[in-house]
Amino acid sequence: MQINTPRRRRTRLTRRGRIVLIATGACVVAAAVAVPLLRPDMGNRRPASLTIPEGWRTSQVYAAIDKALGVPAGTTKKSIPKAKLKLPPDARGNPEGYLFPATYPLNGKSTPESVLSYMVKTANEKFNGDQVAAGPQRNPMSLYQTITIASIVQAEAETKEDMGKVARVIYNRLNSGMPLQMDSTINYAKNRSTLRTSESDTQIDSPYNTYMRMGLPPTPIANPGEEAMLATISPPAGDWLYFVTVKPGDTRFTANFEEQQRNVEEFNRLHQKSQGSAQNS
């Protein structure tokens, strides 16, 4: 498809300016909800708990469940067929996007299958609620596509306040026939988390390469939380097509490509300066 976006090497249209990444396991979810995994025979025993932060990928969730339950690495992933998860047909058995971020109490009888089932059950309850279910009626997207967009929003937005604007950028680019060009989808394809996306990265052969392929990736790229979902179904009005976080707390949205170039150049100057200061120290 012909793309009308001016091309410029190494210009990033996404959130490359975030300086601090959320390390695996280091995030405490403020909006976590408790999902009971307790059995009646537990008595007064105090269960351990497992917190799944917003934006974790399935691979991170699997590893956390393995560790929490004390089972060999890879056990949870292998248990997916046995869990018989209630996923939509669009998911094709892949629970990415449906392992809802929450705090889950555990007990001695918890298994990978029971934990995964409760996560998916919680996601279905959240995503099929009236407020969320109304989203696809307002936007020409299925619920699964909405969850996919929310997962990108979760990965790209620096703050809760930015989530709605990021969602609006995604809708505007889809409606304009432009590629999404989201670094977060390339990170998912390469199973990494980084701020640095090279030109060669944007050439990889993957359905998750939204620089080369039009439209949404085939699945969510993470498990979004409720805030990202709500921002996705009710984004603010705006004509934004580009955004970049120049520095922490300073994400700039614009519909003008030249203005985006200036913002990216400012980000590059600040980033190079900070790298030089770190090396000198």
Q: What is the mean pLDDT of the chain?
A: 83
Q: What is the mean pLDDT of residues 216-225?
A: 98
Query: What is the band of 82 on the pLDDT scale with cuts at 50, 70, 90?
Result: very high
pLDDT attached to residue 130: 67
Query: How many C-beta atoms surround the C-beta of residue 53 within 10 A?
Result: 22
The whole-number pLDDT of residue 194 equals: 77
pLDDT at 134: 61
Q: What is the pLDDT of residues 155-204, one digit of tens each?
A: 999 999 999 999 999 999 999 999 999 999 999 999 998 767 888 999 99
* Cβ 98 vs Cβ 125: under 8 Å: no
* pLDDT, mean of residues 222-237: 96
Tokens of 206: 């993957």
Q: What is the pLDDT of residue 32?
A: 44
Helix (H) or strand (E) holding 251: strand 250-254
CA distance linking residue 186 with residue 194, whole number of Å: 10
Q: Does the pLDDT value for residue 38 go beyond 60?
A: no
**Strand 103-105 versus strand 242-247 pairing type:** unpaired
pLDDT at 14 over 60: no
The amino acid at residue 165 is K
- List the structure tokens of 185: 């989808």
Other Cβ atoms within 10 Å of 156 Cβ, number? 28
Ordered by start, the domain boundaries in the chain are: 49-128, 139-235, 241-280
Give the pLDDT confidence score for residue 48 in this predicted structure: 85
Least confident of 29-38, 90-99, 135-144: 29-38
Nearest to 62 by CA among 54, 37, 71: 71
The H-assigned helical ranges of the chain are 58-69, 75-78, 80-83, 112-127, 130-133, 135-138, 143-156, 160-175, 183-189, 226-233, 257-280
Distance between CA atoms of 281 and 264, rounded to whole angstroms? 26
pLDDT of residue 218: 97
Enter the tokens of residue 151: 């997962």
Give the mean model confidence (pLDDT) for residues 18-24: 36
* Section 48-76 average pLDDT: 96
Dihedral of alpha carbons 200, 203, 204, 207, sign: positive
Which pLDDT band holds residue 3 (cuts at 50, 70, 90)? Answer: very low
